[in-house]
Structure 1
Amino acid sequence: MKFPGSVLVSVVLFVAETVTAVYISSTYSSAGDRTWHSLTLLFCLLPCVLVQLSLIFIHRDLSKDRPLVLLLHLLQLGPLVRCIEVFYIYCNAGKVEEPYVSITRKRQLPKGGCTDEVEKEVGQAERKLFTHRSAFSRASVIQAFLGSAPQLTLQLYISVLQRNVSVSMRIFMCISLLSIVYGAMRCNILAIKIKYDDYDISVRPAAYLCIFLWRSFEIATRVVVLVLFSSVLQIWTLPVVLANFFVFFFYPWILFWRSKSPFPENIEKALSRVGTTIVLCFLTFLYAGINIFCWSAVQLQLNDSDLINKSQNWYRMAVYYMVRFIENAALLLLWYMYRTDVYMYVCAPLLVLQLLIVYCMAVLFMLVFYQFFHPCKKLFSSSISQGLLSCFKFLCYLCIPSKAPNKGDKFGAKLSNSSDISEHMKAVDSQNGNTHSDVSAKA
């Protein structure tokens, strides 16, 4: 039985970020900055409430007689209680013989062209731990992109305006960045486990390191770009963010309406049609929030029973990163054109170049992960290298013009055309001469 390290990391990040957010908001309140105080508390309390609701929903606590657990969730202590419950189950596992054991069948990754199916006994304790890990993974994603990401953007924006970064602010921003990166890593792991649910998957430490570097560079660059742009063009910040949000929010619904599939009814049996609609809207809301800051690694498909597109679509990923790179470059260009005296001591061209290079490094680590360290790379129909090679050939085909004819070819063509014309004129003259001779003979 695996040690529940992911649960411990999720709870530590959750508690650390909540405590530091409350402290930072109290400093804003004492300094008289009511706006920053209110926004900091909002981005702290909103994800806390959503995390409690997600834990209650996944564990189906509303249908169980557990009033104490529900009360602790109302007091925002749900993750702590769940963590204690997880370690209690883990420590007592194996001490008492379980009355019920289920058997699961998993396929191993192909070795030498063949796949073997392995049977494994799963007891109640291990099944409960799996449910807890799944719940905390989804809670970490909610905490990361509905709380930590806007919180980090806000605090960095305040630091730029005040031209001062205190020690507590630095700690707070580091914790928020770690929370976002961890949530993005959980997105990658969840995507792999959902797409390849039939296989026994183990992620190597090198893959975790590669994902960590990829997500760190990508998210840090995106947050800095948004902060720089919003610091000089405050009026246009909201339209840019809303445009990104609405594109990703309505995209799964547009695909669902175009497929003309029936409304999904099998998300949760206890949910009504209204409840199912609310859950789907929340999923697309979270999906849009993730894609504003980074690639989600999970593509929503509302007409599927699992709500996830399990095919590996390299085209969407390539389009996303190309469009995001162009958008970041455009926002940086606008910042460079309209920058104020706040950035007097900043080398603007060097900063722009550094941010673009860091984003390219994020894309590089992403390619390295999918090419070498993806746990299911043997199941890919096509690899990243083949996709890049085909794209390179296509770009070369578009960029290289068709071969123009040489001067000798043109001269030869002219000569052939002139010779054809002279022969045609001789034929016409001979026909005219014949007609004249025929006329004179008749006369």
Structure 2
Amino acid sequence: MREVTMEEEEREISDIDPQEGSAAGENGVMLVVNHSRILPPFSVVLATVLYCAEFVAAAVLCSRYHNTDDVIWLSFTIAFMLLPALLIQLALTFIHRDLGRDRPLVLFLHLLLLGPPIRCFEALVVYFKAGKKEEPYVTISRKINLKKGQGTPMEWEIGQSERKLATHRNAFKRTAVIQAFLGSAPQLTLQLYATIQEKYVFPARLVLMIITLISITYGALVCSTLAIQIRYDNYKVRLRPFAYLCMIVWRGLEIATRITALVLFSTALTHWMILVGMVNLLFFFFLPWVEFWVRKGSLTDDVEKNFSKLGTTVVLSMFTLLYACINIFCWSAVQLDFTHRELIERKQRWGRLAMYYTGRFVENFILITLWYFFKSDFYEYVCAPLLAVQLLICYSLALLFMLLFYQFGHPCRRLFKYNVHDCLHCVCCRPGRRGASGRRGKLPPSYSTAATMVLMPEEPLELLDPRNSQPLDITSQLGERETAIVEDMMDAA
């Protein structure tokens, strides 16, 4: 066998295309990723833009309230502006583990509430430098492993730049949810209530309301996509434009209708609104803890190794508070399980989804009805019955687009044991169910599963837990994932 120089080896490996240049190694599998095709960090940029835009718009509105001596509106606006900003700084510092690193400038910028912009700048720098300059040891070792067919799939698929970008994306997904439901949702509710009470909307308040609505909708989309990724973490899931369209309309109508119903009810029965809000918050806050107590489980030890039992309980309580705030305004798409390593229950519970939306529709109907009977004189020039009907129709449309998403837009809908079509036709109660299920298994492949699932996790395991960075056997790993697919397809059939 002829000798190959390092220059020839480097040229030969760097010219491999991820689609066409896969070669068989010792285990018959080789995965190569072209570093020039790393996806831009759009989610990081979008979350940063929404954070900065909402903060600036709220600051301008606070200046307006200060000039008009509106102390109440000023106080609540500042509170809903600073609370999520502080929590976002803590979340970014916790996820990136900056407290154990020598980065005084980054920590100082976090104290100035400028954490998201500097993190976004870091992600953009990593993206633009990806593939242009790599550490020699990492490059040479990767090339040797590729030639010999050795190494783990993580080392082949994800480079150092991709791991850093994955960390930034995961961090900003969490901060987008915090911003949406601990800041934007209360802020939008407050400003809409102030608009109705003052019977006037000025440009600064209108701009802030639009930005907060976009932020809440984006946070709800992140919740839905995170739920899918956690449920099907063995696959790399790609959502199609139709799925995004359904989710945007579904979440936008659901959130807008819910907040409008709450605000209208609060203008008619202000003191009773406090009771409604507290009942919702306490119910969803204690629900995961009651389920945890019923199951007699033990708290997971994977939240943070350096935390004590008290510290773990505090972190889980903050996580539960965020979960409760999400469910007040919209469906969270996940259920908490404190015994699981990821704190999320993987099983899709259709019964809980149906109960949530049924109860929420009834609650909105009661709130709108009470507003109609106890409304103030401000609505004399508004057709109140038409407004009430429009709100109920909009919420029904949100449910319709949710059903369309789960039936036609969900990327893994073929893995469901039951889908919307089965529930609507009451497949469990029909005679001849076995024959129907046999015919269902022979359906042609759905467009939603074509080229949407790849047998690789989306993120490296070492990002979730450093203990998982041990070398893996490729054959055994693929065998486990193939077995998981067969089991899921058998459930679907």
Range class of TM-score, shorter chain = 0.7 to 0.9
Distance 2:428 2:203 in 1: 47
Give the match for residue 423 of structure 1: none
User: Percentage identity across aligned positions?
Assistant: 52
Q: Which letter does structure 1 place at the counterpart of 2:262?
A: L
Structure 2 counterparts to residues 74-93 of structure 1, below 5 A:
74-93=111-130
Q: 2:60 aligns with which of 23, 36, 42?
A: 23
* d(CA) in 2 for partners of 1:168, 1:327: 32
Map of 1:434 onto structure 2: none
Q: Where does residue 2 of structure 1 map in the other structure?
A: 39
Amino acid corresponding to residue 267 of structure 2 in structure 1:
S
> Distance between the aligned counterparts of 2:300 and 2:49, measured in 1?
36
1:50 aligns with 2:119: no
C-alpha separation in 1, matches of 2:167 and 2:379 = 49
Distance 2:351 2:270 in 1: 34
Shift of 1:393: 6.7
Task: Provide the rounded CA distance (Å) in 2 between the counterparts of 1:389 and 1:351.
Answer: 33
Query: Judging changes above 3 Å, is the alpha-carbon distance between structure 1 residues 235 and 393 closer, same or farther for their aligned structure 2 residues?
Result: farther
| Structure 1, gaps ≥5 residues long | 106-118, 395-443
State the Cα distance separating 1:302 from its structure 2 match. 1.0
1:287 paired with 2:319, answer no
- The CA distance in 1 between the partners of 2:257 and 2:323, in whole Å, is 20
CA distance in structure 1 between the partners assigned to 2:94 and 2:70 by the alignment: 37
2: CA distance, partners of 1:25 / 1:169: 10
- Which of 165, 179, 201 is the aligned partner of 1:143? 179
1:70 to 93, 102, 107: 107
Could you tell me which of 317, 326, 342 is aligned with 1:306? 342
CA distance in 2, matches of 1:22, 1:79: 17
Tell me how far 1:298 sits from its aligned partner: 1.1
How far apart are the structure 1 equivalents of 2:80 and 2:298? 36
Contact 1:103 1:122 in 2 (8 A): no
Q: In 1, Cα distance between the equivalents of 2:231 and 2:99?
A: 30
Bigger radius of gyration among the two: 1
Counterpart Cα distance in 1 of 2:313 and 2:72: 34
Structure possessing the higher relative contact order (Cα contacts under 8 Å, 6 or more residues apart):
2
Which of 210, 217, 222 in structure 2 is aligned with 1:186?
A: 222
Aligned counterparts of 1:393 and 1:144: Cα–Cα separation in 2: 41
For the residue of structure 2 that corresponds to 1:390, the secondary structure is coil
- Whether 1:38 aligns to 2:75 is yes
Give, in whole Å, the separation in 2 of the partners of 1:147 and 1:271: 27
Residue 278 of structure 1, CA deviation: 0.9
- Residue deviations 1:342-361, cap 9 Å, x none? 11111111101000000000
The alignment status of 1:267 with 2:303, answered yes or no, reads: yes
How far is the alpha carbon of 1:274 from its aligned partner? 1.6
The farther-off stretch of 94-103 and 324-333 is 94-103
Q: CA deviation at 1:104?
A: 3.8
Partner SS state of residue 158, structure 2: strand
Q: 1:120 to 1:326 in 2, by over 3 A?
A: farther
Q: Residue by residue, what CA displacement relative to the aligned partner does 1:153-190 show, whole Å, maximum 9, x if unpaired?
A: 00000000011011221111000000000000000111
Q: For residues 222 and 75 of structure 1, what CA distance do their matches in structure 2 show?
A: 34
Aligned to 2:190: 154
Q: Match of 2:402? A: 366
- 2:352 equivalent in structure 1: 316
For residues 80 and 122 of structure 2, what CA distance do their matches in structure 1 show? 27
1:200-243, CA deviations, whole angstroms, 9 ceiling, x for partnerless residues? 21111221111110000000000000000000101101110000
CA distance, structure 2, for counterparts of residue 6 and residue 281 of structure 1:
27
| Mapped partners of 1:73, 1:130: distance in 2 | 21
Letter in 2 for 1:380: F
Q: Distance in 1 between matches of 2:373 and 2:114?
A: 48
Pairwise CA distance, 1:120: 5.1
- Whether 2:239 is the aligned partner of 1:198: answer no
Unaligned runs of 5+ in 2: 1-37, 143-150, 431-493
One-letter amino acid matched to 2:239: V
- TM-score where L is the length of structure 1: 0.84
- What secondary structure, in the 3-state scheme, does the structure 2 residue paired with 1:356 have? helix
Is the deviation greater in 193-202 or in 40-49? 193-202
TM-score normalized by the length of structure 2: 0.76
Cα deviation, residue 65, structure 1: 1.1
Could you say which residue in structure 1 is the equivalent of 2:417?
A: 381
Aligned mate of 1:390, from 426, 439, 450? 426
Measure, in 2, the Cα distance between the counterparts of 1:126 and 1:79: 19
Distance in 2 (alpha carbons) for counterparts of 1:103 and 1:361: 47
Deviation at 1:391, TM superposition (A): 8.7
Shift of 1:199: 0.6
Structure 2 residue identity aligned to 1:12: V
Please list the CA deviations of residues 63-99 of structure 1 after superposition, one character each: whole Å capped at 9, or x if unmatched: 1111111110000000000000000000000012344
Structure 1 residue 10: Cα displacement: 0.4
Match of 2:200 in 1: 164
Please report how far the alpha carbon of residue 263 of structure 1 lies from its aligned counterpart in structure 2 after TM superposition: 2.3
Matched positions, count: 381
| Partner SS state of residue 322, structure 1 | helix
Rounded to whole Å, the distance in 1 between the matches of 2:60 and 2:132 is 43
C-alpha deviation, 1:379, in angstroms: 1.3
Residue 10 (structure 2) aligns with: none
Q: Is the 8 A contact 1:249 1:288 kept in 2?
A: yes
| RMSD across aligned positions (CA) | 1.5
Contact map agreement 1:256 1:301 (CA 8 A) in 2: yes
| Alpha-carbon distance between aligned partners in 1 of 2:153 and 2:163, rounded to the nearest angstrom | 11
